[in-house]
Amino acid sequence: MSFIRRLNPFLLFPSLSISCISLFLLLSTASNLFVPQLIFTFTGLLFYFLFLSIDYNLWPKFKYLFYLITLLLLSLIFLLPEVRGTHRWIDFGIFILQPSEILKPLIILFYSSHLIKIQKISGFTLLKLIVTFLPIFALIFLQPDLGNAIIYISLFIGLLIIAGTNISHLLSGAATLLLFLPLIWARLLGYQRQRLISFINPQLDPLGAGYNAIQSVIAIGSGGLIGLGLGRGNQSRLLFLPEYQTDFIFASLIESLGFAGGLILLGLYFLMLFWILLVALKSSNLLGRFIAVGIFCQIFSQVIINVGMNMGLLPITGITLPLLSYGGSSIVSTYISLGLINAVSADTPKKILVIR
């Protein structure tokens, strides 16, 4: 099969479309970020084609290496100077790497490769899986990066469910987690606690913890049906909306392109997620199915959480919107994941992907 024939247009079209929307939006609101974002996108596409061209059945051979790399990178950042007051990034000078973003495909490959070898997930087996996951979760949570910690939990649970984990075991795990909530709350930084409290009523601190949520809702409301036009949104242009190029880029897009633009964007995400889910359901390869489910859970949870917090429906946790938000680590990570999905899709007989 030629390289071109392996490409899945139903995955490539929505991803490229979202990237193009991101570039146009940044060009109109933060033109200095356009060229870096363009470089990130091209780099991400190179990794997309690379992972598409590699037989994904080879990845289980490296699963322990993936896990070791994950722990090393997540631990290394605590030995380096803080960047923007946290231990989330590694500054290489010419670029900044965020390990919690770039490692998502590796973790999905690790657990997918591990779970296909397990015939039945007993209570003890589940405990061993949780023990391997806890260091990853703890290192991300302590950065602190609550948003990505939630994303890792969602993809981990998604993989456990598709592996046939007993629901009672999952409920027992959830109940156990509740016992640790006081400890988790104690480890949250002050601004993170205030964000959760202000979610209930942003007006309690409109100039502090509730400011981001209020400005985001104002930006979305001002967009109306067709928006104010690219570069004409007051919230973004006058910098009332914080992080308008990353965490709150969805609000910036709605302000510029309105409800219609937001609907088009969500339609592109729906198309992408639909085909990822379809590949997961129809793949005859168990490894491919696990990979697809893990990536579906990752992207789906990111979209839901980011859009939800932009609309004031969920607490602000600092989650990027895949391929739309500015940032190289997130873009490259997402394109690697999509390249893996395309590789699984190319290995699936085309006739079973026909919707009846």
Read off the pLDDT of each residue in 32-38 and give the average, rounded to a whole number.
93
User: Which tokens belong to 262?
Assistant: 């937001």
**Cα distances (angstroms) measured from residue 15 to each of 9, 19, 64, 228, 299:** 10, 6, 30, 25, 12
Residue 109 has pLDDT above 70, yes or no: yes
Distant-in-sequence, close-in-space partners of 40: CB < 8 Å, separation ≥ 6: 327, 328, 331, 332
Cβ contact 141:183 at 8 Å: no
Query: Which one has a higher pLDDT value, 182 or 37?
Result: 37
In the chain, pLDDT over 90 holds for what percent of residues? 48
Q: What distance in Å separates the CA atoms of residue 234 and residue 318, rounded to the nearest whole number?
A: 22
Q: What's the pTM value of the predicted model, to 2 decimals?
A: 0.89
Which pLDDT does position 352 carry in this prediction? 46
Residue 335: which of 10, 94, 16 has the closest Cα? 16
Instruction: Determine which of 11-25, 80-94, 229-243 has the lowest per-residue pLDDT on average.
Output: 229-243
Residue 350 has pLDDT above 60, yes or no: no
The pairing of beta strand 96-97 with beta strand 90-91: antiparallel
Which pLDDT does position 297 carry in this prediction? 96
Distant-in-sequence, close-in-space partners of 250: CB < 8 Å, separation ≥ 6: 262, 265, 306, 307, 310, 321, 324
Read off the pLDDT of each residue in 17-36 and give the average, rounded to a whole number.
92
Cβ contact 326:246 at 8 Å: yes
Read off the pLDDT of each residue in 194-202 and give the average, rounded to a whole number.
53
Q: In the predicted model, what is the mean pLDDT of the chain?
A: 84
Confidence bin at 349 (pLDDT 50/70/90): low
What does the DSSP assignment read for 18-84? HHHHHHHHHHHH-GGGHHHHHHHHHHHHHHHHHHHHS-GGGGGGGHHHHHHHHHHHHHHGGGSPPBT
Residue whose structure tokens are 């910690």: 149
Distant-in-sequence, close-in-space partners of 80: CB < 8 Å, separation ≥ 6: 87, 90, 91
Q: Report domain extents, the chain.
A: 3-353
Write down the H helix ranges in 116-210: 123-141, 146-162, 167-179, 181-187, 190-200
User: Which tokens belong to 129?
Assistant: 């899986």
Residue 318: which of 243, 266, 252, 255 has the closest Cα? 243
Instruction: Determine which of 4-8, 340-344, 350-354 has the lowest per-residue pLDDT on average.
Output: 350-354
Residue 330 has pLDDT above 90, yes or no: yes
Residue 100 has pLDDT above 90, yes or no: yes
Read off the pLDDT of each residue in 172-189 and give the average, rounded to a whole number.
66
Q: Which residues of 8-38 are buried (b: 16+ CB within 10 A; e: fewer)?
A: bebbbebbbbbbebbbbbbbbbbeebbeebe
Q: What distance in Å separates the CA atoms of residue 149 and residue 301, rounded to the nearest whole number?
A: 11
pLDDT tens readout for residues 232-254: 766 665 566 777 788 889 988 99
Amino acid sitting at position 255: E
* 320 alpha carbon, distance to own chain's centre: 7
Read off the pLDDT of each residue in 336-344 and give the average, rounded to a whole number.
96
